[in-house]
Amino acid sequence: MTASETDLRAGAITQPPIWLRDNCPCAECRDPRNGQKLFGITDLPPDLTVTNVSGTTVTYSDGHVSRFDPAFLEAQHGPDDRCEDAKRLWGSTDAPEHDWARFLSDPEHRADCLHAVMRTGFTLLHGVPAVPGTVLDVASEFGFVRETNYGELFDVRVEATPNNLAFTGLAIAPHTDNPYRDPVPTVQLLHCLSNAVDGGESGLVDGFHAAALLRAEEPDAFDLLSRTLVTFRFADGGTELVTTQPMIGLDPAGRIREIRFNNRSMQPLRLPPDQIAAFYTAYRRFAEIVTRPELMVTFRLGPGDCVVFDNTRLLHARTGFADSGERHLQGCYADLDTIASRHKVLQGQLAFARLRELFDGPGTADYLGEEVTQAQHMLQAAALAESAGASPELVVAALLHDVGHFTGPLTGAELMGGTDNRHSHVAAAWLAHWFDPAVTEPIRLHVAAKRYLCALDPAYAGLLSPASRYTLEVQGGPMTDQEVADFEAEPYADDAVRLRRWDDAAKDPSLTVPPFDHYEQRIALLARPGL
Amino acid sequence: MTASETDLRAGAITQPPIWLRDNCPCAECRDPRNGQKLFGITDLPPDLTVTNVSGTTVTYSDGHVSRFDPAFLEAQHGPDDRCEDAKRLWGSTDAPEHDWARFLSDPEHRADCLHAVMRTGFTLLHGVPAVPGTVLDVASEFGFVRETNYGELFDVRVEATPNNLAFTGLAIAPHTDNPYRDPVPTVQLLHCLSNAVDGGESGLVDGFHAAALLRAEEPDAFDLLSRTLVTFRFADGGTELVTTQPMIGLDPAGRIREIRFNNRSMQPLRLPPDQIAAFYTAYRRFAEIVTRPELMVTFRLGPGDCVVFDNTRLLHARTGFADSGERHLQGCYADLDTIASRHKVLQGQLAFARLRELFDGPGTADYLGEEVTQAQHMLQAAALAESAGASPELVVAALLHDVGHFTGPLTGAELMGGTDNRHSHVAAAWLAHWFDPAVTEPIRLHVAAKRYLCALDPAYAGLLSPASRYTLEVQGGPMTDQEVADFEAEPYADDAVRLRRWDDAAKDPSLTVPPFDHYEQRIALLARPGL
């Protein structure tokens, strides 16, 4: 690394010594297989200082040395995928709908379905065989079945001749299930086996949206419902479940994170009379919002339909119906954390599959007058990055840096014809669908890095291949002083310069390097965006 | 009910109309089988008022009438059994120990074991067969196994020739499991199949106690750890679990409710540098408390031992050991809510069994000169209470009102010999182990009620049986004016007077009434104290 490149990063490290030491990425400090740290916080010296910083290499008073990826130091906190910030709140919405056969056979459809539950809060699956017990098969594709005192699954069956009130066709107001349980089941599935009654439509309400409306319309009521502890209880001969939680659960930053709304199991509030009165006023306001007809999505579950929904967020309801026939649902519970996990893993697998198609198809074309194909060029760049000990993000950036030649409106051939296809920007924008800036920013800047290096180092231009010297002019030539200063201010300028040097060297027809599949795990792990 | 009795309750109702209406106990408002309410809050009129109160009977502006048990109106909120208030916090403690065979055969032992997990946070079970998979059998007695990406169970196996760092005998610092999961598994079981290594002791730390110490010693640090969101993450090829929660989770009342402490999976904090520094200072303080040797209970798991612990509260650790032999544990997860439920149900069943023993044994003795046995007398009183539509609490009070004759140091025979055995107080104190004041208070006051009625109503004394007239004198005779006033101020005076009248009438040798088992469900449901 040249002195000027080192200088690019000067002052980039703002974190205190203990943060740096605690987050050291070396194999002594982290299990390389799963990234889990191998020490506790008290294993680190209490009076730790940093004794030297060189680029992003940090030496501490205990003698340890950490080599950080610049992208790691720049990263920002991702959203908590369980709080309101990560959701698409809705008043009324078209129900996301998915098909069970496609779910099982088409990973894109499956990913979209999992995403709907995390982001919109539910999906309506069609084509699930109307066979008793099948709801457990569906649940196991979404996560792990949470067995309860109701069993692995429960029956919601309404007889034409009910023997008690609960089995009539009375309407059931919007509510969340099992508020008397802690942990509450975070996902519920309801699978329709038969539905021959008149009426009996299902309804869903976005409880996060309703709570956000309450916060906007009556902040004091919202505040009261998020602070007041309510006890929910269910007791029969064999069970006595009791949980005390607020109706609107917030995280410590005050964001909506969990709704418990169920008058059926709410126990008497034991508070002074004036506090009771204030609570009930707030509770009614919230209930009035929750029951606004325009906030409810309604649909009729037919045999083979299965609705999957977030029970920490959505309230579910049933309209009344006449006792004119058989209606039989089976339900079970599962958990959101596994849905989110499976969605992320699937996204990674999908990204890998999609990118491999590029390497196997258009990537086999000639690389703009070089003696290697496009795919060979990128595989060589990745191999050079890996040999240099680059971070997984930068290895993947090297591997994918030229995909803009065949994902944009203009091809590499047009670039060679004298029209800049802006392939670095095209690639970065396209890859941002899956990857963080640590991957996409070095790619976006890799053409700029050529112009930067040409401006700083006249000898560099002499090292370029003839094709690269030609495209330099199409891309704007060496940078001006102002452009150099702007480039150096980019957080990922350093990585872009490293990538550029591998790019320039990755044109050797005699080189044998690992194939695309070699990078599968790295791609799959990195290509998992938040919601 | 006489006018004076009605007056006793005047002014007892302090709750607003909406609270009363929402908590109406009638069969139209609540499912009699499970107590679940049958309406939503918006089903009640927004402008509801109370138009009449007579005793504890309330009439509303919508025409509905509620008849409340006075005890229900007086009840106070029970504790939340998941927060620090309900726990026995410990610095060091003797490990609760239980035996697996006794757990399966002895309900008292089983109840004590479940209680230990709820209250102390763990128990050490001995005598569990050292057979692979048995941990699932143990878990199913405590609750429902929570399957995860690690399977239904996971193996903690340390080989003599480890192939990587994680399988050496290095010490593992105190931590909670799976902080990257939400819902986190609230209970963990670890079952030892073999342990032939030197060292490798297990340790447990009460995280609630440690957090309470931090609050006392460094309130600002406690505050910071309860407010700062930390992201925990675990990712491998098939899984990516991410959860964002504070290290010290509080309920809205500020009470400690959940600890997540695991440096291994803690992700980099993304905060401004000064906030990072403050957080790490607080984090280290907490970690220093957690690792104080005097706060850790240590024990060695041998084959057949199984430790069951609260993973929302306790941190578990392992001391280092030499790689000199085989050590194999199997673990799995379950949830606290079901442990609490099973404990309550078991307590109810135990109370019923214990009370039935009284009825089948000493209860068969003569009833102090009456023509019925003690058991017949109490069964008649209960039948009269039931016929009068009394609350479950008052029916059970009638059923048990005289158990003080054979549970105290002085018997009924001694009462007849002229020494007051204070059987009403003895019974109330003994029954308070299981029952709320709604049951025990009418019992405690039922002798006083006789003295009260004699003072108010000279004709009443004439209705008493000869034996009862005799004991009246031993018990202090009719009340003075001051005693009358004091009695009337008792919240349960009304119930005591009702109980007294059934008591007086329950001496008919010709009467056939339901047997003790008739009251099983009522007793079992009521005899479930909080922690």
B-chain CB neighbours of A238 within 8 Å are: 345
pLDDT at residue A164 in the model: 44
SS3 A186: coil
Are the beta carbons of A41 and B77 separated by less than 8 Å? Answer: no
Over range A49-70, report the average pLDDT. Answer: 90
Distance CA A207, CA A225 (A): 13
Mean pLDDT of A126-133: 98
A338 reaches B (C-beta below 8 A): yes
ipTM given for this complex: 0.85
Q: Which among B19, B182, B266 has CB closest to A276?
A: B19
Closest listed residue to residue B81, CA positions, set B378, B411, B343: B343
What's the confidence (pLDDT) of residue A161?
Answer: 52
**Which residue of A41, A242, A266 is in closest CB contact with B287?**
A41
Q: Is B254 on the interface with A (CB under 8 A)?
A: no
Mutate to test the interface with A, among B28, B141, B242 (most CBs of A within 10 A): B242
Between B352 and A458, residue with greater pLDDT: B352
Q: For the whole model, what pTM was predicted?
A: 0.86
Q: Could A268 and B34 be called an inter-chain contact, meaning their C-beta atoms sit closer than 8 Å?
A: no
Lowest model confidence (mean pLDDT) among A185-199, A355-369, A420-434, B149-163: B149-163
Those of residues 167-196 in A touching chain B at CB distance below 8 A are: 173, 175, 181-184, 186
**Which among A417, A382, A373 has a CA at the least distance from the CA of A401?**
A382
CA-based nearest residue to A148, from A341, A311, A366: A311
Structure tokens at B364: 């068969």
Kindly state the average pLDDT of the residues A362-387: 89
Asked if B269 is an interface residue toward chain A (Cβ–Cβ < 8 A), one would say yes
How far is A366 from A374, CA to CA, in rounded Å? 6
* Res. B324 pLDDT band, cuts 50 70 90: low
Q: Do A40 and B181 touch (CB under 8 A)?
A: no
The span from the CA of A140 to the CA of A129, in Å, is 15
Distance CA B456, CA B433 (A): 33
Q: pLDDT band for A168, please (50, 70, 90 cuts).
A: low
- Closest-CA residue of chain B to A23: B268
pLDDT tens, position by position, A213-250: 999 999 999 999 999 999 999 987 789 999 999 999 99
In chain B, the N- to C-terminal Cα span, in Å, equals 37
In contact, A30 and A24? CB cutoff 8 Å:
yes
Structure tokens at A417: 């014809």
Q: Out of B238, B253, B344, whose CB is closest to A240?
A: B344
Name residues 221-240 of chain A within 8 A of B (Cβ): 226-229, 231, 233-240
Residue B304 is classified by DSSP as T
Structure tokens, A122:
């539910």
Asked whether the beta carbons of A390 and A364 are under 8 A apart, the reply is: no
Average pLDDT over residues B454-480: 89
Asked if B337 and A268 come within 8 Å (Cβ–Cβ), the reply is: no
> In the predicted model, what is the mean pLDDT of chain B?
89
| Residue B460 to residues A416, B8, B30, B465, B482, Cα–Cα distance (Å) | 115, 19, 38, 11, 20
For residue A151, which of A167, A135, A175 has the smallest C-alpha distance? A135
The residues in A 286-315 lying below 8 A from B, measured between CB atoms, are 287-288, 291
Looking up tokens 């069994």 gives: B353
For chain A, report the end-to-end CA distance as a whole number of angstroms: 37
Residue B116 tokens, joined: 């230990």
CB contact under 8 A, A268 and B524: no
Percentage of the residues of chain A whose pLDDT score is greater than 70: 94
The secondary structure of B104-172, three-state, reads HHCHHHHHHHHHHHHHCCEEEEECCCCCCCHHHHHHHHHCCCCCECCECCEEEEECCCCCCHHHCCCCE
Residue B162 clears pLDDT 70, i.e. is over it? no
β-strands A154-158, B248-250 pairing: unpaired
Residue B47 at interface with chain A, using a CB cutoff of 8 Å: no
Distance CA A169, CA A323 (A): 6
Span of A29-38, A437-446, B200-209 with lowest mean pLDDT: A29-38
Count A/B contacts: CB-CB distance under 8 Å.
236
- On whether any CB of chain A is under 8 Å from the CB of B278, the answer is no
Q: Which of A13, A14, A19 is the mutation pick for testing B, counting most B CBs within 10 A?
A: A19
Single-letter amino acid code for the residue at A164: N
Q: Which of A81, A307, A296, A290 is nearest to A188 (CA)?
A: A307
CB of A517 within 8 Å of a chain B CB? The answer is no
User: How many percent of chain B have pLDDT more than 90?
Assistant: 64
In whole angstroms, give the CA distance from residue A263 to residue B21: 12
Mean pLDDT for A487-506 is: 92
**Alpha carbon distance A161, A168 (integer Å):** 8
CB B360 within 8 A of CB B354: no
More confident residue, B524 or B248: B248
DSSP lists the bridge partners of residue A123 as A308
Using the Cβ of A150 and the Cβ atoms of chain B, whether some distance falls under 8 Å is answered with no
Angle at the Cα of A450 from the Cα atoms of A449 and A453, rounded to 5 degrees: 80
Distance (Å) from the alpha carbon of A375 to chain B's nearest alpha carbon = 25
Domains, chain A, in order of start with CATH, read 3-68 (3.30.2020.30), 84-125+133-334 (3.60.130.10), 345-526 (1.10.3210.10)
pLDDT reported for residue B115: 95
Peptide bond into B183 cis (omega under 30): yes
Partnered with residue A204 across adjacent β-strands are: A297, A316
Are A445 and A390 a contacting pair, CB within 8 Å? Answer: no
Where is average pLDDT lowest: B86-100, B346-360, B401-415?
B401-415
pLDDT in tens, B375-384: 999 999 999 9
Q: Does B165 score more than 60 pLDDT?
A: no
Q: Which of A92-101, B143-152, B250-259, B416-425 has the lowest mean pLDDT?
A: B416-425
The rounded distance, in Å, linking the Cα atoms of A526 and A430 is 15
Q: Report the candidate in A259, A324, A267 with the shortest Cα–Cα distance to residue A287.
A: A259
CA B26 to chain CA centroid, nearest Å: 26
Residue A405, pLDDT > 60, answer: yes
Nearest CA to A125 among A95, A147, A155? Answer: A95
| Distance between CA atoms of residues B509 and B481, nearest Å | 36
Does the distance separating the beta carbons of B77 and A270 come in below 8 Å?
Answer: yes
- Asked if A229 lies within 8 A of B340 by C-beta distance, the reply is no
Q: What percent of chain B has pLDDT over 70?
A: 94
- Report residue A279 as tokens: 């609570």
- The reply to whether residue B263 touches residue A344, judged by beta carbons under 8 angstroms, is no
Scan for tokens 């939680």, then name that residue. A245
> Which residue's entry shows tokens 């610095």?
B91
**Separation between Cα atoms, residue A181 and residue A178, nearest integer Å:** 5
- Rounded CA separation A260/A180 (Å): 9
Per-residue tokens: B321: 């050991």
pLDDT for position A362: 85
Asked whether the beta carbons of residue A41 and residue B263 sit closer than 8 angstroms, the reply is yes
Which of A158-172, A226-240, A498-512 bottoms out in mean pLDDT, i.e. has the lowest?
A158-172
| Cβ-based contacts of A283 with chain B (< 8 Å) | 41
- Region of B37 please: left (phi>0), alpha (psi -120 to 50) or beta: beta
A219-227 and A273-290 helices cross at what angle (nearest 10)? 110
Q: Cα distance from A50 to chain B (closest Cα, Å)? A: 14
Is residue A323 pLDDT above 70, yes or no? no
pLDDT confidence band for B370 (50 / 70 / 90):
confident
Query: What is the structure's pLDDT at A529?
Result: 56
CB B249 within 8 A of CB B259: yes
